[in-house]
Amino acid sequence: MTTARDIMHGDAQCIGADESLTSAARMMRDLGVGALPICGADDRLGGIITDRDIVIHCLAEGKDPDSVRAGELGQGRPLYVRADADLDTVLEQMMSHRVMRMPVIDNKRLVGIISEADLARSLPGEKIGALVEAIKSGPADLPS
């Protein structure tokens, strides 16, 4: 059985909850990614922030990205899968929450992140097509 740990990017870097959105944007640029996990000093996942979050919830609202903290946008219960989850579970979670990236947790610590591309390398095309369709239908309303 292939697990989340088998396909995840294990080098996922976190942005601290107290760091500015400017720092988050620069980190995304430097890493060539569109999302960052938000973590506390203990490596526990506090949420995830995307480049779209910065644009929609900061810049478009006229807020200063130097004064808004990453943790302010990572509200609610963070989504994740366990490192030992099978790929069907990962796919189901990403589809039901309509997300393109899923943090991977082991022992209550962030150990990696899975993207659509990671799944595409491991699953049949029709399953990836279903994920893309689910994501295209818009973000899900997530529980707080």
Q: Is residue 81 part of a domain?
A: yes
Condensed to tens digits (0 to 9), the pLDDT of residues 75-85 reads 667 899 999 99
Query: Are the C-beta atoms of 14 and 47 separated by less than 8 Å?
Result: no
What values do phi and psi take at 65, rounded to 5? -65, -15
**What would you report as the CA-atom Rg of the chain, rounded to the nearest whole angstrom?**
15
- Number of structural domains the chain divides into: 1
Task: Kindly tell me if the per-residue pLDDT of 42 is higher than 90.
Answer: no
Q: Is residue 144 part of a domain?
A: no
User: What's the domain range around 92?
Assistant: 4-136
Which CATH number do you get for residue 19? Answer: 3.10.580.10
Q: Is residue 141 part of a domain?
A: no
Q: What is the value of pTM for the model shown?
A: 0.80
- Mean of pLDDT values over 86-97: 91
Residue ranges of alpha helices (H) inside the chain are: 4-7, 21-31, 51-57, 70-73, 87-97, 116-120, 125-136
pLDDT at 143: 40
Q: Is residue 95 part of a domain?
A: yes
Written as six digits, the tokens of 57 are: 């919830």
Residue with tokens 């239908």: 137
